[in-house]
A and B are shown apart, each in its own frame.
Chain A
Amino acid sequence: MTLIDSRLQETLDGERDPATLPAELRDAYARLVSAADLLRHPPAISVADRVMAEIRAVPPSAGRRVAGWLARPRAITLRLRPVWTLAVAAALTAVILLPGGQSVVPGAEEGIAQFVGHFPGARSVEVVGSFNDWRRGALSLSDEDHDGIWHGAVVLPTGQHEYMFVVDGERWVADPLAGRYVDDGFGVGGQNAMLVVRP
C-alpha cells in the first residue's frame, strides 16, 4: 500500500495552504479535489435510464433479429434411445453406401444398360443409338478420375438396341466390349454394337 504524502494529507484536511505545496504535489492535489467533486455530485440520469433510452432509440429490424437469433450459439440437447440412434445410423449408411440407395429404379419393362469404354486422352464420349433416335448429346459418358475409362448407365426399355460411341464429337466407334454386333446395312462393312436389355 502506497502512503499518501503527509503534506498532501494536511492540505486535503485543510490544515495547510495548497499554495505552499511543491509543484508536483500541487498537481496531485488538484486531481484529488476534482475526483472528490465528482463523487460529491451524482449524475443527473441514472445508468439504467441511459441504457433503456439507448435501447428505445434504435429498435432492431426483424431481419437483424432473425440474423442475430441464427448467429447466436445455442446448446441443443437431443435425448435418443440407443436403439433409435443405431437405426438412424444404419439407415444413413444404407442410403450412402448400398447401391440400392439410388433414386432411379427400372420399371417392369425396363432394365439398366451400362456402358464402359477405354478412350485415353478423349475429351468426350457419348452414346448414340436406337434408344435415343441416334441423337447426339442425349447420353454422355464420364471419366471423373481421368484414367481414360469412360462409363455411364441408363434405364432403357427391355429388348434390343443398336448403338455406337461417338468420341470427341466426330469419331464413331462400335463398343469393343459389346459382344454383339450387327451390320449397319449401309454397304461398307460398318457395324453397330448391340445390347439386349433384360428386365
Chain B
Amino acid sequence: MRLLLTLVLAAAPLTAQSVHARLEGRIPAAALPGIDSLIEQAAAENLPTEPLVQKALEGGAKGIPVPRLVNGVRHGLVHLRTARAIVSRTAPGQNAPDGDVAAVAAALARGLDPQLVERLLIGAPTPGEPPGPVLHAAADLVAHGFPADSTADLLRTAQQQGLHGARLLDVAVAASHELQREGGRTPAEALARVRAMIPNVPVAPTAYPRAVTRRVGRGS
C-alpha cells in the first residue's frame, strides 16, 4: 500500500514534467504557469490531461492571446469534470475510463445536452462499449435539427437491433440523407424512414485514395 502511494505521488510530478516539456516553446511563456496549474489539477483529480494539452497546443499554434488561451484550457477542464460526473453516474462503483471521459467531454464541447448524454450512456445495451460513436451519432443528428428525444430513441433502437460502433454513425448519415432528399421531408418523416431501415442502414463508403501519408508526427 505504501509502495502504491509512493508510486502515485511520484507519477504526478513526472506527468507534469513531460507535459511542461511538450508545451514549452509552443505556447507563450506567460501562459505556461496557468496552464501547468490547470493540468496538475486535472491529474490530481484523475482526469485525462491529454485533451487539455491539446487545447493548449491548439491555442499556441493559433496565436491566441494568453488570457483567452488559459480560459480555453480552463473551459476544457470544466467539460472533463462534468464528463467524469456523468460517466460515474452511469456506471456507479467503477473507475471512469479516461477514454470515456474524454469522449463525453468532446460531446459536451459539440453542444450535446448533458441529459441526453447521460440518457444515451445509461441506455447502452452493451456495457463497456466505448461511448464515442453513439455520442458522435447523436451530436450529428442534433446538429441536423433532429429533436433530442427522437435522436435518443432512434439510436437506442439501432443499438437494440445490433448496431454498434461506427455503424451508429451510418444511422446518423442515413437520417441526414433522408432529410435532404428531393421533395423535402420533415425530421419526423426522415427518422421514421431510417427506423424502418434498421439494422440495414447503408454503410458509408470507405475512402481509399491513391496517395496516403503514413504518419503525421504527433507528439514529436
Closest 3 CB pairs of A and B: A134-B61, A153-B209, A132-B216
Interface size class of A (residues with CB under 8 A): 35 or more
- Cβ–Cβ < 8 Å partners of B161 in chain A: none
- Cβ–Cβ < 8 Å partners of A198 in chain B: 166, 169, 204, 206
Bound Cα distance A139, B69 (Å)? 24
A-B contact pairs, 21 of them (CB 8 A): A104-B213, A104-B214, A112-B212, A114-B207, A114-B209, A132-B216, A133-B57, A133-B220, A135-B220, A153-B207, A153-B212, A154-B212, A160-B103, A160-B106, A164-B62, A179-B140, A180-B143, A182-B110, A186-B59, A186-B71, A198-B206
Nearest Cβ in chain A — how far from B166, in angstroms? 4
Q: Does A183 contact B (CB under 8 A)?
A: yes
Residue of B nearest to A127 (CB): B216
B57 touches A183 (CB 8 A): no
B71 touches A155 (CB 8 A): no
Within 8 A of A (CB), among B86-118: 103, 106, 109-111
Residue of A nearest to B106 (CB): A160
Bound Cα distance A194, B139 (Å)? 12
A160 touches B136 (CB 8 A): yes
Q: Does B132 contact A (CB under 8 A)?
A: yes
Partner of A185, one of B55, B212, B216, B220: B55
Q: Are A187 and B71 CB-contacts (below 8 A) given A132-B218, A153-B207?
A: yes
A130 touches B132 (CB 8 A): no
Q: Does B54 contact A (CB under 8 A)?
A: yes
List chain B positions with a Cβ less than 8 A from chain A. 22, 26, 54-55, 57-62, 64, 68-69, 71-72, 75-76, 103, 106, 109-111, 132-133, 136, 139-140, 143, 166, 169, 204, 206-220
List chain A positions with a Cβ less than 8 A from chain B. 99-100, 102, 104, 112-114, 128, 130-136, 138-139, 151-156, 159-160, 162, 164, 172, 179-180, 182-188, 190, 192, 194, 196, 198-199
A186 touches B211 (CB 8 A): no
Bound Cα distance A130, B52 (Å)? 11
- Cβ–Cβ < 8 Å partners of B213 in chain A: 104, 139, 152-155
Residue of B nearest to A142 (CB): B211
B106 touches A156 (CB 8 A): no
